[in-house]
Structure 1
């Protein structure tokens, strides 16, 4: 039972990180109606900015304080992501208003490849370290209940708590604020939203900035665990099955979908993997997403679209 709980908790903690990245996909889809394939590249770009700024700022400004360096690096990286959001809106999305969905989809693919290449040109292509002080020692829980207790990685636990707090904050922002309601209006009908005075360009900058903030936090957490390297953009793409499972338009769906994917891949790898030779954790999420596309393409919480003719 203790081992099962360790695997379950590990899946839940990984699932919260998937949910955090998936929120970026959901927010942009709700605001622009396009699936943002650049979200993985945004995670890598933001993590590279954070890692490099934390190295450069102490040298540039002549101080030796790790906490201050990380704080300034975070502010600098967030500023970079806001600039990226403005550039994407100004030079790409504003020129593609009311175009076909496939046009916007191809635009995000182009943005993805550009950010992958430009990020490594600007910040370098080595493996960089992000150290924000999260404890890495394991901790034991429920020692009185199970023999030996349940072993949990402290870094994973703190990362999951940070991701959960941010997911909750973004959910409240989207559901309770005037800007969040404007985002939903823009998602439903661009032209109608413009006709009642909602500035489409400002909304798109805001939503891409929020998605960039989510990408930055996810990049910091994954970079702290794995190091900042090109594979981060591939890790971020694990959120694709999450949004398919939860629903492209559902914030709660991104959360539930992330938890299901995280737990499912961990349990299947541990309990089914030995019988099939391992490797299930790599493809489990995508097979589950394929099943949902076949039988429930709108996902668990997505809206079913009915066209009346």
Structure 2
């Protein structure tokens, strides 16, 4: 009986006794979810345009952030460092298309997935060789003050990240649905060979989408780097985007945001109000347990397209 009270009754009593504290915990979780969503956006872009889960996206976040902060530490002005880093990520997109994707056109998706694992280790090794493994603080002028809504404390940096994520979602959704290139990207994802047969230049399309994913990786790296410092653990944190994708759907840009918000809010609230019952560290496994439950009942995610294959 005591265990049931601790699990179901006590947390709700605490919420009603201190509603402003609950609001602070919930808001902090939602803002953390926005950061997860930024990473998930890069995964969605690649999957939506090629049907391939890009295991290297987390390392692309790290690689972009390493180049950006490395250039700034070398005395390059921030705006110029950003432009150079974007150029580097576009060059990476060209190299991936030419040496990885082009030889594997129309191959099974598992083969392309394994190729992205190789890309991940290659980029991580190059980043370590050029910039080293030290944690690098990153300051790009993002406000880090706090303000209060009632008794709930809100960080300005979290709100800034939320605005950036919202802007990216709107721009990318419009790009995919209302531009000729966006429609071509979706056609390529459906069938590589069919897209080639109607004159869609597969190599150009892949360069475009990997370049856009590289830009998203840079924005994500700047947001995470400003919060935690640029360090190699960023690539591990980025894997939290996997349960976000399972919840939101691998092909849905808005789903990446909604999934991130659910994961972020859920793990923070669970850690604070149920951490004592489970012995703490709920944040480490909550997202993956929730994703597992979704796989049982709605494997395509909240906004994903249901895949029906004829045999």
TM-score relative to the length of structure 2: 0.91
1:85 aligns with 2:93: yes
Once the two structures are TM-superposed, the CA of residue 197 in structure 1 deviates from its matched residue by 1.2
CA distance in 2, matches of 1:155, 1:20: 14
The residue that corresponds to 1:187 in the other structure is 189
Once the two structures are TM-superposed, the CA of residue 137 in structure 1 deviates from its matched residue by 2.0
CA RMSD of aligned residues (A): 1.2
Once the two structures are TM-superposed, the CA of residue 295 in structure 1 deviates from its matched residue by 2.3
Runs of 4+ aligned residues of structure 1 deviating over 6 Å after TM superposition are none
1:45 aligns with 2:53: no
Once the two structures are TM-superposed, the CA of residue 166 in structure 1 deviates from its matched residue by 1.7
The residue that corresponds to 1:199 in the other structure is 201
The residue that corresponds to 1:291 in the other structure is 293
Secondary structure of 2:304's match?
coil
TM-superposition CA deviations, 1:116-161 (whole Å, max 9, x none): 11111112211112111112222112x3xxxxx2201121221222
CA distance in 2, matches of 1:294, 1:214: 31
Which residue of the other structure, out of 220, 234, 237, is the alignment partner of 1:218? 220
Secondary structure of 2:147's match?
strand
Once the two structures are TM-superposed, the CA of residue 79 in structure 1 deviates from its matched residue by 0.8
Once the two structures are TM-superposed, the CA of residue 264 in structure 1 deviates from its matched residue by 0.8
Once the two structures are TM-superposed, the CA of residue 271 in structure 1 deviates from its matched residue by 1.0
The residue that corresponds to 1:19 in the other structure is 37
The residue that corresponds to 2:266 in the other structure is 264
CA distance in 2, matches of 1:20, 1:228: 16
User: Are the aligned partners of 1:50 and 1:130 in contact in 2 as well (CA < 8 Å)?
Assistant: no
Which residue of the other structure, out of 116, 133, 136, is the alignment partner of 1:128? 136
Once the two structures are TM-superposed, the CA of residue 183 in structure 1 deviates from its matched residue by 0.7
Secondary structure of 2:71's match?
helix
User: Are the aligned partners of 2:39 and 2:217 in contact in 1 as well (CA < 8 Å)?
Assistant: yes
User: Are the aligned partners of 1:36 and 1:105 in contact in 2 as well (CA < 8 Å)?
Assistant: yes
User: Any unmatched runs of 5+ in structure 1?
Assistant: 59-68, 144-148
TM-score relative to the length of structure 1: 0.92
User: Are the aligned partners of 2:169 and 2:254 in contact in 1 as well (CA < 8 Å)?
Assistant: no
User: Are the aligned partners of 1:57 and 1:73 in contact in 2 as well (CA < 8 Å)?
Assistant: no
CA distance in 1, matches of 2:302, 2:119: 29
CA distance in 1, matches of 2:175, 2:31: 23
Secondary structure of 1:237's match?
helix
